[in-house]
Amino acid sequence: MPKNQRSDGLPVDCYGQTDQPHLSTHVPGNVNVISVTSCYGFNDYVWVDLTRDRWYGQEYLSYGQNTAVNYVKTNAAWRCAGTGTYTCNAYGYHEASNGAYANTYNVGTFTC
């Protein structure tokens, strides 16, 4: 499985996935990341945090969360203001209603 997709900790045939933070194609000037949890037969939960690297560490930007049965998706977005190259990090948390969970991570670098 790619680094952005994990099943360890979740029931068999379940997974959590966090995509790469990227410039939005729907809302120009925004950074967006999508995270999903797929676990058939369970109430699924997903949370994603969006941060960016700064000289002093990571700056928290935004989060998204959602709950649904069998498959759930959420996104976090942030207005990409300024100039220069940005490195944004996405941290996903995925949980099934039986208490099993997995964590995912992805990173994207782009120019605003």
For residue 20, count other CB atoms closer than 10 A to its CB: 14
Q: Is the confidence at residue 2, as pLDDT, over 80? A: no
**76, 49 in Cβ contact below 8 A?**
yes
CA gyration radius, the chain? 14
Residue-range definition of the domain harbouring residue 85: 5-111
Q: What is the CATH number of the domain that holds 35?
A: 2.60.40.2550
Section 22-46 average pLDDT: 94
Summarize pLDDT for 36-86 with one digit per residue, the tens. 999 999 999 999 999 999 999 999 999 999 999 999 999 999 998 877 899
The confidence score (pLDDT) of residue 11 equals 81
Give the number of residues written for the chain.
112
* pTM for this prediction: 0.90
Question: How do residues 88-111 score in pLDDT, each as one tens digit?
Answer: 999 999 999 999 999 999 999 999
What is the domain count for the chain?
1
Buried b / exposed e over 58-87, threshold 16 CB at 10 Å, is eeebbebebeeeeebbbbbbbebeeeeebe
